Structure 1
Amino acid sequence: MSVFKDEVQPIDDRYIKDYLNKIENFDEKHTEDIFLGADQKLILKSSLSRLKRIQRIVGHGHFALLSFDAAIKTGKAYSSVGPFTKEELAFLEMIFYEDSLLYGFMGDKPLKNLTDTIDEPKAIKIPYTGNYLYKGLPLEMYKKIKKDIGENVILTSGLRSVTKQFMLFLNKAHSNDGNLSLASRSLAPPGYSFHGVGDFDVGQVGFGVSNFTEKFTDTPIYKKLEDLGYIKLRYSKGNFLGVRFEPWHIKVKL
């Protein structure tokens, strides 16, 4: 590809306006969204149901650290879960390894392999949150945020394994008729989430699910984070990665 200035083609303004409209209205269906086929939606439903049964077996906290191989073993070990079928495994592999550009997600992919794991001995559970962080820089950063801002800031989401990201992403797609594009505008597909390598989310105590909306930018906690230089956004407003604005996401890994 040439990088000479006089050969660069300008981006159509209509494309930019259409793109920004999709990101601004991330939770709505758009004309060019990519949907799973009818058979794939059935396999999505059964795969998601199995993942939820595994989460009930291992517990919500530990599920965030559970590798895909461990999830498969859990399915085989518990009759209340049952083993993943060949069709489910093929579907999950397809979702993981298919290029997310096909349905509009353009972010980086820090976890390249379906079998990538969370290094559990290097993880620590954060009291009163139900979430884990990696020891080292992520934990140090969170402790510094707590020290600088006070007890009203809380960890809302920490480490997420490939398995955990699968459940979140597939649940969003299932709730929206198999719309992969819509799901990827608000949740990174499995393998693409930086929660798997150290990033984390914070919010204001007592603010509930609103911590995961733009309303968070109106809170005293966000204003303090911004004033103290903690806001180095992974997904900024108007980004061109196919992802909604995430002001609550603390960028740890470069």
Structure 2
Amino acid sequence: MSVCKENVEPIDDRHIKDYLEKIENFDKKHTGDIYLKPDQRVTLKTSLMRLKRIQRTVGHGHFSLLSFDDAIKVSKGYSSIGRFSKEELAFLEMIFYEESNLYGFMGDKPLKNLTDTIQSPKVIKIPYTGNYLYKGQPLEMYKKIKKDVGENVVLTSGLRSVTKQFMLFLNKAYNNDGNLSLASRSLAPPGYSFHGVGDFDVGQVGLGASNFTETFTGTPVFQKLADLGYLKLRYSRGNLLGVRFEPWHIKVRS
């Protein structure tokens, strides 16, 4: 039986349309999404709760710089936190070292080792933000943005250790039934976040959590950023990295 070629949609076009549908609706569950197994979801929960207890103990700012090895040490030192179990450590290693393209995240991995650290002498805390930046190019870029855009631009997220990215990514997966694909459409898996090597997020003063939505594109700060010409976004609209459009995420490292 023959078919009319004009009525046959090329497979590549179907894949692209499916991809764009998922990215456009990044916070919804889609056919083909990859989920953790039921027993893994149990370990996900206990690991996440332990990470949150560590954050409450060391403080949000310090937690952003806390290495994985130091997180383990902190967990051992406080009975209110409790040691990571062997199952939890194995689970976290699996999440870190598994190839993220298996569940749809296609970005590069700047941090190759679970034990990668952020060296305190190389960073600086940005006043009134609670966030840190690397000295050098990231700090100088932020200063230039502040100078060119004005006081209404604010640093909303700076340096993130592997530990911090673990908590963000696992929290998203936990709130969505262990859906790793959904989580990775808006949060890079641990090791894959360029926040660990210099990227940072900016927003409009007073906009709050909406700075991490497309609402930000309607603000005076975004319009000024777009007019500067020298800035690049890590995840531009229509990117093919499996990540939503992030107009707030400034690309610093190549």
Percent identity over the alignment?
Answer: 82
Q: Pick which of 211-220 and 189-198 moved more.
A: 211-220
Give the Cα–Cα distance (whole angstroms) in 1 for the partners of residues 37 and 221 of structure 2.
Answer: 43
Aligned residue in 2 for 1:233: 233
**Unpaired segments ≥5 residues, structure 2:** 1-9
Give the Cα–Cα distance (whole angstroms) in 2 for the partners of residues 117 and 26 of structure 1.
Answer: 30
Aligned residue in 2 for 1:116: 116
Residues 126, 133 of structure 1: 8 Å contact kept: yes
Aligned residue in 1 for 2:175: 175
SS in 2 for 1:186: coil
- 1:108 maps to amino acid: D
Residue 230 (structure 1) shift:
4.2
Task: Please state if 1:75 is matched with 2:75.
Answer: yes
Equivalences for residues 234-249 of structure 1 within 5 A: 234-249=234-249
Aligned residue in 2 for 1:204: 204
Aligned residue in 1 for 2:195: 195
TM-score by length of 1: 0.95
Residues 230, 250 of structure 1: 8 Å contact kept: no
Aligned residue in 1 for 2:164: 164
Q: Across the two proteins, how many residue pairs are aligned to each other?
A: 245
Residues 65, 160 of structure 1: 8 Å contact kept: yes
Q: Deviations over 1:124-165 (max 9, x none)?
A: 000000000001110011011111111100000000000000
Residue 119 (structure 1) shift:
1.6
Aligned residue in 2 for 1:92: 92
- 1:178 maps to amino acid: G
Aligned residue in 1 for 2:66: 66
* 4+ long deviations beyond 6 Å: none
**Unpaired segments ≥5 residues, structure 1:** 1-9
Give the Cα–Cα distance (whole angstroms) in 2 for the partners of residues 59 and 161 of structure 1.
Answer: 14
Equivalences for residues 33-52 of structure 1 within 5 A: 33-52=33-52
SS in 1 for 2:93: helix
- 1:112 maps to amino acid: K
Residue 11 (structure 1) shift:
5.9
Task: Please state if 1:18 is matched with 2:18.
Answer: yes
SS in 1 for 2:185: helix
Q: Deviations over 1:172-199 (max 9, x none)?
A: 0000000000000000000000000000
Aligned residue in 2 for 1:3: none
Residue 231 (structure 1) shift:
3.5
TM-score by length of 2: 0.95
Aligned-pair Cα RMSD in Å? 0.8
